[in-house]
A and B are shown apart, each in its own frame.
Chain A
Amino acid sequence: MLITMQEYPWIVIIILLPLSAAILSFLFPRRVKLLGLLLALSVIAAVAGLAWQVIEHGAQRYAIGGWAAPLGIELYADGLSLLMLMVTALVCLGVSIYSTGYFNRAYFRRSRAIYFWPLWMFLWTALNALFLSSDIFNLYVTLELLGLSAVALVALAGGADALTSAIRYLFVNLLGSLFYLAGVVLLYHRFGSLDIAILSQHIMSQQMAPSPAVWAAAGLISAGLLLKTALFPMHFWLPPAHASAPGPVSALLSALVVKASFYILLRLWLEIFPVESPVPGQLLGVLGSIAIFWGGIQALRQMRLKMLIAYSTVAQIGYLFLAFPLASYIAWKGMFFLLISHALAKTAMFMAAGNILHFGGHDRIKDFDHVVQYQPLTSAAFALAGISIMGLPPSGGFIGKWLLLEAAVNSGQWWLVIIIILGSLLAAAYIFKVIGFAFTQSEMSHQTRKVPVQMQWTALALALAAVLLGLIAPWPLALMDIGLPFGEGGSG
């Protein structure tokens, strides 16, 4: 008795698709490119199915193994996780098309290239599983799966600096996971359950001062996740790792992997951690603003394009943390919208950088040689993505920053307003620096290579998506209201 269309368990299919594709591409290395494209399309269809279910019937909860929450693991799909799944599906569709050109025989040693596909699909499985899980120990396992596949992908580039940044990234990942696990242990022994919904009921119900265990757990989990999200003092590992990774991998890292640990922090912060006193929020806000300035200034100083973009990621992550001191309904939605548009824009930027690297054999900004003439599509993609990073209308970045500004003005925290504006100016500075050099030609001419056409078009398509996101803003903003954090329990 086949179950009818609506009751298809899309929530599980979204996790099983990339897992089975990864296994198939491990077993049959010759047909990886076809598998990659097929996977991207089928996951988009599955996400559409889940979206239809969530919009129709509200947040979906799925008990795996038939065991309800305290005993078994539950998957939970609401507006937030749906949006993250959509962005992941879009970015991964772009990466799958881009990689068919990037990992061809000429550019990448075949024996290494075939490992990109299974590792990337396992990374996608980890992302989908992470966005859907509502069990904190299960989140630990998905974080480890995510971390190990990301490190293996970074090390795929094979150079000396790629390998040293890969092993530093691995240690940072493992340290962050251990801190997170220590927090999980304390929460489990304090409340006897691992499910986020049950934990939030326990914590919200006992109004008396939360016991030190909850505070320690909140501190440990936040420290671990901040280390993985590379917030200011702990960002040292991000630029070398993201810059020395292969093209599509740095796009995946900056757009999705760094956001996954931020997503968990956001969900736990809104639902579990009883944050009465504004002090932690203010602290995160201050660290975020320092990250904006530090990332912006370092980006201006960089000689290589990919390092510049990596430092721009450090700065943009700082923006996301500005919503914590505001903690108002508009602020959370603006920050989340900024997160989505940054994912699309940063993927397009790293793909453009990959094209330039592929075209000229190097990415030293000073020695760009007629990039605009020979690579019009790539330069257009970089410019459009820059518009969204800078936050110029009508791009998605603009809407996100505008909502943050609105929230800052309403709550009267003027220092945040200044930081948001200055941050945008810094972003404009380093993007115009790159675009400026794209028009010049360098003294020494070096032989150039033809960039496969699909690599250029995917970069342009994703950049366009980042810009057009601003035009369709009301739909995703409404989607965020489904489900827990913003819906009923929305604070502010």
Chain B
Amino acid sequence: MNNIYLYSIVGAGLFTLGLYALISYRHLLRKILALNIMGSGVFLILVALASGETPDPVPHAMVITGIVVAVSASALALALVLRVQAETGKAELPEESLE
């Protein structure tokens, strides 16, 4: 049963790895990659904890829904990146002024 905990720890690791990359990199494509990896991390925790002797199908359905939502969000984000680059000439977020 310890592979449940192994994969959920890997999931937690992916979540925080993605969070770190999302915040620290300015290129928009990297941010989209980071978000996808964070999503995979959360889904991994969700299914890993449910994979005991009686595999629970509800988390599987939730993850499939999550994957489709993630791909639609990524598609919208990528189209936006192209538009931002067309308008502002660079595919990076301007330096956020925190006021």
Contact = CB atoms under 8 A, between A and B. Distances in A.
Q: A and B touching (C-beta < 8 Å)?
A: yes
Interface of A: 137, 141, 144, 147-148, 151-152, 155, 159-160, 163-164, 166-168, 170-171, 174-175, 178, 181-182, 185, 188-189, 194, 236, 298
Contact of B93 (A151, A167, A178): A167
A348 to B, nearest CB: 27
Nearest to B97: A236
Given A137-B62, A144-B69, A175-B22, A189 B50 contact: yes
Label chain A's interface by main secondary structure. helix
Interface of B: 15, 19, 22, 28, 31, 35, 38-39, 42, 45-46, 49-50, 58-59, 62, 65-66, 69, 72-73, 76-77, 80-81, 83-84, 87-88, 93-94, 96, 98-99
Contact of B35 (A137, A141, A144, A178): A178
Given A144-B69, A178-B38, A298 B31 contact: no
B87 A189 contact: no
Contacts of B45: 182, 185
Contacts of B35: 171, 174-175, 178
Contacts of A298: 99
Label chain B's interface by main secondary structure. helix
B42 A182 contact: yes
Given A141-B65, A160-B87, A178-B39, A185 B49 contact: yes
B84 A178 contact: no
Nearest to B22: A175
A151 B42 contact: no
A148 B76 CA distance: 8
A256 B35 CA distance: 26
B87 A163 contact: yes
12 contacts: A144-B69, A159-B87, A167-B80, A167-B81, A178-B15, A178-B35, A178-B42, A182-B42, A182-B45, A188-B46, A189-B50, A236-B96
B80 A155 contact: yes
B42 A181 contact: yes
A137 B19 CA distance: 21
Given A155-B83, A188-B59, A163 B88 contact: yes
A147 to B, nearest CB: 8
B50 to A, nearest CB: 7
Contact of A167 (B28, B46, B98, B99): B28
A171 B31 contact: yes
A148 B72 contact: yes
Nearest to B62: A137
Contacts of A182: 15, 42, 45
A3 to B, nearest CB: 30
A163 B42 contact: no
A182 B66 CA distance: 12
Nearest to B69: A144
A375 to B, nearest CB: 30
A480 B77 CA distance: 39
A174 B73 contact: yes
Contact of A170 (B39, B49, B58, B73): B73
B73 A163 contact: no
Nearest to B31: A171
A159 B83 CA distance: 10
A185 B41 CA distance: 11
A463 B93 CA distance: 37
B84 A167 contact: yes
A461 to B, nearest CB: 34
A167 B77 contact: yes
A315 B65 CA distance: 36
